Structure 1
Amino acid sequence: MTSHGLYLLEQLNSGCGYFIQADRCLLAKRTRYQDLALYESAHFGKFLCLDNLFMTSEADEFFYHENLIHPAAMTHPAPRSALIIGGGDGGAAEEVLKHPTIEHAVLAELDAEVVDVCREQLGTIHRGVFEDPRLQLMIGDGRTYLENVTTTFDLIILDLTDPQGPSLGLYTQEFYHLCKTRLSGAGLLALHVESPISRPKTYARIITTLRQVFPIVRPYLVYIPLYGTWWGMATASESSDPCALTPSEVEHQIATRGIEHLRFYNGDTHRSVFALPNFIRELLRQPVSPLTDGNVDLDEAPLPYRLKVVSEA
């Protein structure tokens, strides 16, 4: 499947997009749930696409995974259990299990073929985490799993695809309430919340939905090279606030917990990602309706495509 000079364009919204030049396509298939493709490029190394969206790459995965996990995990005084819904590439699980207090983590991934491909092809992202005895892999619907489990978790991580298709029901007020009932007293939910640059209405509605359920919601921003834009993330909790930690406290906890091989996250970045520009603050002050099981219309125009080949030498 060699395709030298392959240009892949992902349309971010109706007016702009982002392209990657790939050297070759390593794999393209239809799984039971979605289209899956694996490409290789000089800039990103191997990178994964699901349903025609860029997901993760060898070169920049730490921008996403470290920031998805550590602001919440470092805020909890001693997280012992974690649930990751989605995250079939293993990157989020690898970051969670850097915390030595974690005794048990569940990775609930809908699509077994995503796990199989990533396990074989993206070892530099998961770093063998699937072999860690603390990790339990559960193939199936994450919402169904959460409805049926009786235990609680110190961390719940939603490492989902964008709010469309099978993941849409995991962005609603009812689902966030379910997550709340499965969190321990100091527990935190961490998730990505779309981009305020390319999908501002969707971003605002997800944050509004979280605020209907949790008293402490902390949006934050990270630039993700593979996505070509700022990306929104958030923590949500009954009692734990990542903004209460000082940079020196974060650095002390990193050292005390013996966490190594961090390429992005440190005490200063922990605080800086939560510094929202004024236009984001204004966006989040606008009245929007929360997403519910009965109302998941995202109010933004559907795109004619999300990823396509625009040129091939």
Structure 2
Amino acid sequence: MTDWVTESLHDGLKTAFRADEILYRRAVGQQDLVLYENPTFGRMLALDGVTQVTEADEFIYHEMLTHVPLLAHGAVKSVLIIGGGDGGMLREVARHASVERIVMVEIDEGVVTFSQEFLPGLSAGAFDDARLELVIADGADYIRNADERFDVIIVDSTDPIGPGEVLFTDHFYGHAKARLNAGGVLVTQNGVPFVQGGELAGTMRAFRSLFRVATCYLATVPTYVGGPMAFGFGTDDTALLSVTPETLAQRHAAAGLDTRYYTPDVHKGAFALPGYVQELVDA
């Protein structure tokens, strides 16, 4: 009998993925974790019934949430990652040799341990990077109490339910802004606007009160159905939206990056928003 893993994150919409083999299932920390094999997406990881990452398309999400802010900024020395226990975001940040310090704050150590054992390709050894400081703590608590600043902060959170809910509040974004160096960038994952419009609108409302630039950019990740994903982009440096494809290409080449989704032209085009997304940004 064929097993199917059904996700019902969105009201009125169910998504089912065929599970040829359940590889692992147990409670990890505060979350229910299941790993299974799918013929299209390879190994798929779900937390609390919601797909988090797949071997086949994870590069899209991780490349776009990392390289867009780092290459737009152009001189990043320090990066803070909130969440991201699977190590994919860390892998992409660590590819930038110019970055001198990486702090990663993950609430569940079990997710990190699990991912290194069962999804080692996601981190590709990045947890051994000497620049990394791994902190097992609540991201909201850390960012409220930290006494250092960063050039880029990446919020690689789950959806705003359970432990991830606090990472979508005005208070959290305010504390994150206080942890940025001058000209720094805060980026966030904001789900699929077509079916999660309130999530993006809420983040953009907070960003508008904090940043001179408060917008989002898009990427199409096949696993996350309902249209393109949105990534919040907040900064006080208005010039970061005007970086040319030529400059981005120079920075991309200088970093020695070999990316499968990100290109300088995709970077620029990702900020060209459909009308319904722009309405949520301006709401």
Interval containing the TM-score (normalised by the shorter chain): over 0.9
Residue 81 in 1 paired to residue 78 in 2? yes
Tell me how far 1:120 sits from its aligned partner. 0.8
Q: Work out the CA distance in 2 between the residues paired with 1:242 and 1:66.
A: 18
Mapping of 1:23-42 within 5 angstroms? 23-42=20-39
Match 1:155 to one of 130, 152, 157? 152
Give CA-to-partner distance per residue, 1:145-190, whole Å, 9 cap, x none: 2222211111111000101111211111111111111101121111
Structure 1 or 2: larger helix share? 2
Which 10-residue stretch deviates more, 192-201 or 104-113? 192-201
CA contact (8 A) 1:108 1:137 kept: yes
The equivalent residue for 1:137 is 134
Which 10-residue stretch deviates more, 13-22 or 216-225? 13-22
Q: Work out the CA distance in 1 between the residues paired with 2:264 and 2:202.
A: 29
Q: Work out the CA distance in 2 between the residues paired with 1:59 and 1:238.
A: 35
The equivalent residue for 2:211 is 214
CA contact (8 A) 1:89 1:125 kept: yes
Q: Aligned-residue CA RMSD in angstroms?
A: 1.4
Tell me how far 1:203 sits from its aligned partner. 2.1
Aligned length: 282
Mapping of 1:150-229 within 5 angstroms? 150-229=147-226
The equivalent residue for 1:100 is 97
Tell me how far 1:84 sits from its aligned partner. 0.4
Residue 117 in 1 paired to residue 110 in 2? no
The equivalent residue for 1:45 is 42
The equivalent residue for 1:258 is 256
Give CA-to-partner distance per residue, 1:96-128, whole Å, 9 cap, x none: 111111111011000011001101111111111
Secondary structure at 2:148 match in 1: coil
Q: Highest relative contact order (Cα 8 Å, sep 6+), 1 or 2?
A: 1
Tell me how far 1:242 sits from its aligned partner. 3.8
CA contact (8 A) 1:9 1:19 kept: yes
> Which 4+ stretches in 1 moved above 6 angstroms?
none
Q: Percent identity?
A: 36
CA contact (8 A) 2:144 2:175 kept: yes
Q: Work out the CA distance in 2 between the residues paired with 1:200 and 1:37.
A: 27
Q: Work out the CA distance in 1 between the residues paired with 2:126 and 2:281.
A: 37
The TM-score with structure 2 as length reference comes to 0.95
The equivalent residue for 2:231 is 233
Residue 18 in 1 paired to residue 15 in 2? yes
Tell me how far 1:53 sits from its aligned partner. 0.4
Q: Work out the CA distance in 1 between the residues paired with 2:215 and 2:197.
A: 17
CA contact (8 A) 1:188 1:240 kept: no
The equivalent residue for 1:249 is 247
Q: Could you tell me which amino acid in structure 2 is paired with residue 153 of structure 1?
A: F
Which 10-residue stretch deviates more, 126-135 or 243-252? 243-252
Q: Work out the CA distance in 2 between the residues paired with 1:143 and 1:241.
A: 29
Secondary structure at 2:37 match in 1: strand
Secondary structure at 2:30 match in 1: coil
CA contact (8 A) 1:188 1:237 kept: yes
Secondary structure at 1:26 match in 2: strand
Secondary structure at 1:245 match in 2: coil
The equivalent residue for 1:127 is 124
Q: Could you tell me which amino acid in structure 1 is paired with residue 36 of structure 2?
A: Y
Which 10-residue stretch deviates more, 201-210 or 267-276? 201-210
Secondary structure at 2:66 match in 1: helix
CA contact (8 A) 2:41 2:57 kept: yes
Gaps of 5+ in 1: 287-313
Q: Work out the CA distance in 1 between the residues paired with 2:8 and 2:33.
A: 17
The TM-score with structure 1 as length reference comes to 0.87
